């Protein structure tokens, strides 16, 4: 791992921020005009998404399994082991425990995340239901 790339430190601090639900600090990591999977969420919309995720999945936690950073891009494989209360990704989870991964790319701009390309392993969740 190229620890010299400051993106690794940024990403660790970002995960710590969202895992500790300190959304007042999220503008340290996320650009005002953040775009996620083609959707122009903006910072307010991004925080609203995280708040909804934590409401729907009270035991949500982001655990990095792989992090690769080079140039202005970070790639991460995140692991989740949690119990969504109702629906998640259109699937009726209803409090069952599910274990799945998210493979996600972050494009940085001026030292903050500007664009996110995320894929959650829906097929793996379906296989557990």
| Site of interaction with a copy of itself (CB under 8 A) | 1-2, 5, 65-66, 68-71, 73-75, 77, 89-90, 101-105, 117-123, 126
Q: What minimum distance in Å lies between the beta carbon of 25 and a copy of itself?
A: 26
Nearer to a copy of itself, 83 or 115 (CB): 115
Cβ closest to a copy of itself, residue 71 vs residue 95: 71
Smallest separation (angstroms) from a copy of itself to the CB of 47: 22
Q: Considering the complex, what minimum distance in angstroms separates the CB of residue 54 from a copy of itself? A: 20
Nearest in space to 21 (alpha carbons), one of 44, 53, 45: 53
Nearer to a copy of itself by Cβ, of 44 and 92: the residue is 92
Secondary structure (H, E, C), the chain: CCCCCCHHHHHHHHHHHHHCCCHHHHHHCEEEEEEECCEECHHHHHHHHHHHHHHHCCCCCCEEEEEEEECCEEEEEEEEEECCCCEECCEECCCCCEEEEEEEEEEEECCEEEEEEEEECHHHHHHCC
Write down the least CB distance from residue 98 to a copy of itself, Å. Answer: 15
Among residues 23 and 105, whose Cβ is nearest to a copy of itself? Answer: 105
């Amino acid at each position: 791992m190229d620890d010299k790339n400051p993106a690794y430190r940024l990403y660790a601090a970002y995960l710590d921020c969202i895992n500790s639900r300190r959304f007042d600090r999220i503008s340290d990591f996320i650009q005002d005009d953040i775009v996620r999977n083609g959707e122009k969420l903006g910072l307010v919309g991004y925080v609203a998404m995280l708040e909804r995720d934590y409401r729907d999945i009270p035991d949500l936690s982001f655990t990095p399994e792989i992090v690769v950073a080079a140039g202005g891009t970070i790639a991460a494989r995140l692991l989740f082991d949690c119990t969504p209360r109702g629906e998640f990704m259109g699937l009726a989870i209803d409090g069952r425990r599910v274990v799945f991964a998210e493979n996600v790319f972050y494009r940085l701009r001026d030292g903050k995340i500007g664009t996110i390309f995320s894929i959650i392993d829906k097929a793996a969740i379906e296989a557990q239901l």
